[in-house]
C-alpha cells in the first residue's frame, strides 16, 4: 500500500445506524413566538450551498428548513438551533466555535456524527464567512504553539487529559482499559475482543520472544504491557507522564500476575537511556507535537538494540488538508489534547527514515477507529448520569462532541489510523 492514504475525502464508508441512544430533545420542539434573527438568517444563507446529502434545520421559533444536495442523499443531518448565539460563535471562531456553541447548549442534534459528516462534506460549498476570521485563527494558532511539548509542558498536557481520574475512564472503556482504536475482525465482536485483536496485531509486528526486553512509550492503563508479558513471557518496561495511569497500570499488572515482569515508570521518552530488543508505542506520537517528531523517532532509534524493531499505532491526517490543519488550532487541540499534532503517513514515515529507521508494512484502519469511537459514545451516554455526578453538563457535551467529531473524521477519512513496523539495522 502507498504510504499516503489513497482514499478520496468525500468517499465515506457506510455509516453506522443512527444513534437511537441519544437523549430526546423535547425542549427544542416547543414553538417560540417571533421571527428569525439576523444571525440565524445568515446561517441559513450559508447553508444554501449544500451539495452532498440532506440537512434538516429546526429554528428557535419552531420552523423547519430543509436543504437537499444533488448527491448522496442517504446522508442526513438534523440541526436544532436553540439560540442565535450559535452564529456569533461560528463567525468568531469558525469550526472551533461551532463545537463551543454545542458545549454551551446553543444547538443540538439527535445524531451528532451524522450531522457533522454532512457539514464536513459540504464545507467547501457553503456560502459566507465560515472559518474565515484570520484574527481568531491566528490567536488560536498562537495558543496551540504556547502548548508546545517541552518536557515541562508535555507533563502538563498529558496530565490535562489523562488525569481526569481513572474512575471516569473506567466508566466507559472496556475491561482492557485500552484508550486507543480497536480492530474489528467481524461484525459481532465486542469492543473488548476488538481491543485484543489490536494487541495481537501489535504483538505479531514485534515478533516477541520470551528472552526479549520491550520498551513501551505511553503506558495507557497497562493493557498492552500486560498482554505482551502474559503471551510471550518477555520483560516489559513501560513509561508514562500520567500519575493516574501509572498507579492504575501497576495495580492491574500485579492483579494479572505479571508484576515481576512488567514495570511502569513516570518518565519522558526523551530521557530513556537503556536499550531494548523491541519498542512499542500505541497512539502516543500524536501528543509529541510537530517540532518534536524528529526527537521522538531518534529516541526510538536509540532505545532499540541493533537489529531491533518497533511497532507503532498512530493517527494520521489526509495529505490534502495537512497544510491548512497546521496553520490553525482545531477543537481537539484546544479542548482535548493540548499540544497535539497529526502527521500525514508520508511525513510520519519520512521522519522515521531520517532517524535511521526503516518503515515496513503500513496498514490503515479508519473504519475500525470510527466504530471504536461510536461504541465509546454509546458507553458514555449509558452512564451520563454517573458522569454528571463528577463533572458538569458542559463537560459531558464537550466529551460527546469530541467523540462524534473524531468519529466523523474517520468516517470521511479526513484522518486515518496507521499501524507500521520500524526496524533498526
d(CA 390, CA 388): 5
Strand residues in 32-70 grouped as ranges (E) = 52-58, 64-68
d(CA 275, CA 300): 9
The residues, ordered by sequence, that sit 6+ positions from 168 with a Cβ below 8 Å of its Cβ are: 387, 390, 391
Q: Which residues of 241-250 are buried (b: 16+ CB within 10 A; e: fewer)?
A: bbebbbebbb
Nearest Cα to Cα of residue 347 among 379, 325, 376, 375 = 325
Counted residue by residue, the chain has a size of 425
C-alpha distances (whole Å) from 106 to each of 83, 85, 138, 336, 413 are 5, 7, 25, 20, 28
Nearest Cα to Cα of residue 168 among 388, 402, 387 = 387
**How many of the other CB atoms lie within 10 Å of CB of 137?**
18
d(CA 258, CA 232): 11
Active-site choice (234, 354, 406, 408): 406
Annotation says 406 is catalytic: yes
107-108: strand order across its sheet: 64-68, 52-58, 71-81, 107-108
Angle at the Cα of 221 from the Cα atoms of 145 and 157, rounded to 5 degrees:
15
- Show which residues are catalytic: 406
Amino acid at each position: 500500500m502507498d504510504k499516503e492514504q489513497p482514499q478520496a475525502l468525500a468517499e465515506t464508508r457506510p455509516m453506522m445506524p443512527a444513534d437511537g441512544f441519544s437523549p430526546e430533545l423535547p425542549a427544542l420542539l416547543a414553538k417560540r413566538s417571533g421571527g428569525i434573527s439576523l444571525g440565524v438568517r445568515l446561517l441559513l444563507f450559508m447553508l444554501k450551498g449544500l451539495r452532498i446529502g440532506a440537512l434538516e434545520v429546526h429554528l428557535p421559533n419552531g420552523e423547519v428548513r430543509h436543504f437537499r444536495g444533488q448527491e448522496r442523499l442517504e446522508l442526513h443531518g438534523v440541526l436544532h438551533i436553540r439560540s442565535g448565539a450559535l452564529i456569533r460563535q461560528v463567525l468568531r471562531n469558525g469550526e472551533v466555535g461551532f463545537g463551543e456553541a454545542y458545549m454551551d447548549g446553543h444547538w443540538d442534534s439527535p445524531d451528532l456524527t451524522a450531522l457533522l459528516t454532512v457539514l464536513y462534506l459540504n464545507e467547501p460549498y457553503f456560502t459566507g464567512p465560515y472559518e474565515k476570521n484570520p484574527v481568531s485563527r491566528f490567536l488560536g494558532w498562537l495558543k496551540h504553539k504556547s502548548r508546545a511539548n517541552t518536557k515541562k509542558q508535555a507533563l502538563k498536557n498529558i496530565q490535562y487529559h489523562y488525569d481526569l481520574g481513572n474512575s471516569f475512564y473506567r466508566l466507559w472503556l472496556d475491561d482492557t482499559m485500552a484508550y486507543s482504536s480497536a480492530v474489528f475482525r467481524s461484525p459481532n465482536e465486542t469492543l473488548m475482543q476488538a481491543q485484543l485483536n489490536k494487541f495481537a496485531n501489535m504483538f505479531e509486528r514485534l515478533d516477541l520472544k520470551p528472552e526479549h526486553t520491550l520498551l513501551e512509550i505511553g503506558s495507557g492503563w497497562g493493557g498492552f504491557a500486560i498482554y505482551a508479558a502474559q503471551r510471550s513471557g518477555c520483560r516489559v518496561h513501560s513509561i508514562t507522564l500520567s500519575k493516574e495511569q501509572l498507579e492504575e497500570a501497576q495495580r492491574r499488572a500485579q492483579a494479572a500476575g505479571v508484576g515481576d515482569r512488567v514495570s511502569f515508570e513516570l518518565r519522558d521518552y526523551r530521557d530513556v537511556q537503556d536499550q531494548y530488543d523491541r519498542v512499542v508505542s500505541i497512539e502516543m506520537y500524536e501528543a509529541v507535537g510537530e517540532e518534536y517528531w524528529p526527537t521522538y523517532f531518534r529516541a526510538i532509534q536509540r532505545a532499540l538494540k541493533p537489529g531491533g524493531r518497533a511497532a507503532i499505532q498512530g493517527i494520521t491526517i489526509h495529505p490534502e488538508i495537512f497544510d491548512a490543519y497546521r496553520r490553525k488550532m482545531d477543537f481537539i487541540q484546544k479542548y482535548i489534547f493540548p499540544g497535539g499534532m497529526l502527521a500525514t503517513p508520508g511525513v510520519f514515515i519520512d521522519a522515521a527514515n531520517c532517524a535511521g529507521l526503516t518503515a515496513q508494512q503500513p496498514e490503515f484502519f479508519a473504519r475500525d477507529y470510527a466504530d471504536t469511537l461510536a461504541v465509546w459514545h454509546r458507553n458514555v451516554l449509558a452512564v451520563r448520569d454517573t458522569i454528571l455526578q463528577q463533572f458538569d453538563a458542559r463537560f459531558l457535551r464537550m466529551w460527546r462532541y469530541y467523540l462524534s467529531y473524531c468519529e466523523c473524521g474517520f468516517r470521511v477519512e479526513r484522518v486515518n489510523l496507521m499501524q507500521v513496523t520500524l526496524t533498526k539495522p
